[in-house]
A and B are shown apart, each in its own frame.
Chain A
């Protein structure tokens, strides 16, 4: 009986993954410790939820490419750049309020489609080496755009440097544009606890759409391509076309994701800011239980909550407990450790 139980527990650990278990336990510990160190639990939880709502879509953007066997999308910055173009152009064209958010999405879409197809075409030519090249495609596009932000003829006084009258600022305030536009929609407030209903609904709609898509014919084909490309080809699926589609979807979701992030955060961050945005999203989905070639919507939700939970909780709790702000170091070690763990698992991506 006892041995049976043990093997059941071992099995549970196996399926859940030891690192994930440790991270969950750590987060629970932080939550329990919260009242003892004098931090306000409702504030903390509402922080976690709102940060989840900012980042959810960016993490969701990982799903299509993982499904089609392109691996983790380290090239997320490319999609983020489309989003930034949408955001800045929407402001430049003089849209304000909630309309500016809708316009930002609309304007960023064609950029995401074009950049995504170029990116997908490239990834189709280098099957097997996607992740490394994706990383560097992201990096080079961010540094190229650094020059572009300076050179492009933006005029709006809210965005350009005051003195020179040209060149975009590093951070642009969204006050008067789409700051909190989703978060304030139907927001529920109980004391210190705020629930950003609009953002959560927006994320839920996209997640549901993604879930539904993965159950359509094309979606199943995508999963087939990811799990066994040879079989997929034999079944008459155009592997390259499906992969291209997945990359475009991922890029577009990244563009939407950064806009959602901005509306929560309240600022557009340009220049080097998109540089390291891929890593948190990648590690979030991995913490949620995804692997290099398998990911579900549940992984996205659990992963984002766990990751953002640790990111928001460690500074406050640790600070109060040992008067040492180790949160940054913990974040680096946990997120990169998680990526390493996933990369070393023996889930051979078939080439």
Chain B
């Protein structure tokens, strides 16, 4: 009887946790036949998008582990990656060497920005998410200042093809034709008409292994401790502030490298808009995979990418097929992205409150018990 109830409770908890993925499976299952897209096209698209996005999404995992919530500041890393790519393409270093150089070059920018972000988040404890969100806007302003006004006038940019005609500032799109899908096609492999970006997947696999390894290191353990309870971690002698800053720096650096991978797949940089939505889409994908604000695994990342991007591909077509207006589907997918994040945030906050009140009740009971005990002892005496 008792085990049955427990089982039911477990099943209920599982259902609650995976309600978002299940909902997405249903949406996809309904939309795929309506959209009329062929399976081979769909699979091709999904595999491409996996290669493009997974690295970026993986960068979100470490701050979640450290209890800092969804790192909306990953946009900072994306901007660092873009700056590095712009410079490298101005130096005309092409192909894989150019990509590797851009990745390496993005790291110092990422570290600097990540350190700044971590510092500020430490000052705004308890509202990390909204703060990291505003930081991404703030740094976007700085980014525009650098790219639109300083590049070409202060920072030397030689090639006219990426400079605005007025002599300074970078054009709206910077072509990466020399790097386009160089990483994806390094080891060409096509299975049943599906092109697989083997090298990109290998890089992603390595990152997954690194993350798994990192969790077991001293620093990883420290982060988990900080994520669980800052006070306890501090009492245990962990430098909480430092650990939190490091977690944001790692996330930003990974996002920078991820952005280089993302852009080599796209083949061009939309200088002023590539990064603006990336944080939102990555976070939405992660949440669709069943992650929450305080718990996310590598499995969530992969499931999330597949489900979210299936929805992303089929929604406009399905919307057009149902209503005869393709814009509806476009708006629908944007709406779903935001709605998923909203629901996840609401669920996280309500659970946090529930846990808090439960703890409070327990504490009250314990105190009461102690009091009773004390009284009993007194009576006995």
Contact = CB atoms under 8 A, between A and B. Distances in A.
Nearest to B145: A329
A146 B346 contact: no
B327 interface: yes
Interface stretch (B52-60, B125-133, B211-219, B256-264): B125-133
Contact of B328 (A127, A131, A150): A150
A87 B373 CA distance: 67
Given A132-B130, A147-B328, A332-B144, A137 B342 contact: yes
Given A136-B338, A140-B338, A167-B325, A333 B346 contact: no
Contact of A125 (B332, B334, B339, B350): B350
Interface string B114-136: 00000010011011011101110
Contact of B134 (A125, A140, A336): A336
A324 interface: yes
B149 interface: yes
A340 B349 contact: no
B243 interface: no
Given A129-B345, A133-B345, A140-B338, A150 B134 contact: no
Contact of B144 (A74, A143, A329, A337): A329
A328 B339 CA distance: 29
What is the predominant secondary structure among interface residues of chain A facing chain B? helix
Contact of B133 (A129, A135, A326, A348): A135
Interface residues of B, number: 39
A: contact size bracket: 35 or more
Contacts of B131: 340, 343-344
Given A133-B345, A151-B328, A143 B127 contact: no
A343 B120 CA distance: 9
A131 B130 contact: yes
A343 B124 contact: yes
A279 interface: yes
Interface in B303-354: 323, 325, 327-328, 331-332, 334-335, 338-339, 341-342, 345-346, 348-350, 352-353
Contacts of B129: 132
A307 B325 CA distance: 40
B349 A143 contact: no
A343 B132 CA distance: 10
A147 B332 contact: yes
Contacts of A186: none
Contact of B327 (A125, A129, A150): A150
Contacts of A136: 338, 341-342, 345
From B120, B133, B328, residue with most partner A Cβ within 10 Å: B133
Contacts of A125: 346, 349-350, 353
A59 interface: no
Nearest to A324: B149
Contacts of B140: 332
A201 to B, nearest CB: 34
B141 A329 contact: yes
A139 interface: yes
Given A133-B342, A150-B328, A339 B134 contact: yes
A128 interface: yes
B91 interface: no
A128 B349 contact: yes
Contacts of B201: none
A132 B134 contact: no
B148 interface: yes
Interface of B: 120, 123-124, 126-127, 129-131, 133-135, 137-138, 140-142, 144-145, 148-149, 323, 325, 327-328, 331-332, 334-335, 338-339, 341-342, 345-346, 348-350, 352-353
4 nearest interchain CB pairs? A332-B141, A126-B349, A333-B141, A143-B335
24 contacts: A125-B349, A125-B350, A126-B353, A128-B349, A128-B353, A135-B130, A136-B338, A136-B341, A136-B342, A140-B342, A144-B335, A144-B339, A146-B335, A147-B332, A147-B335, A150-B331, A332-B141, A333-B138, A333-B141, A336-B137, A337-B141, A339-B138, A340-B134, A346-B123
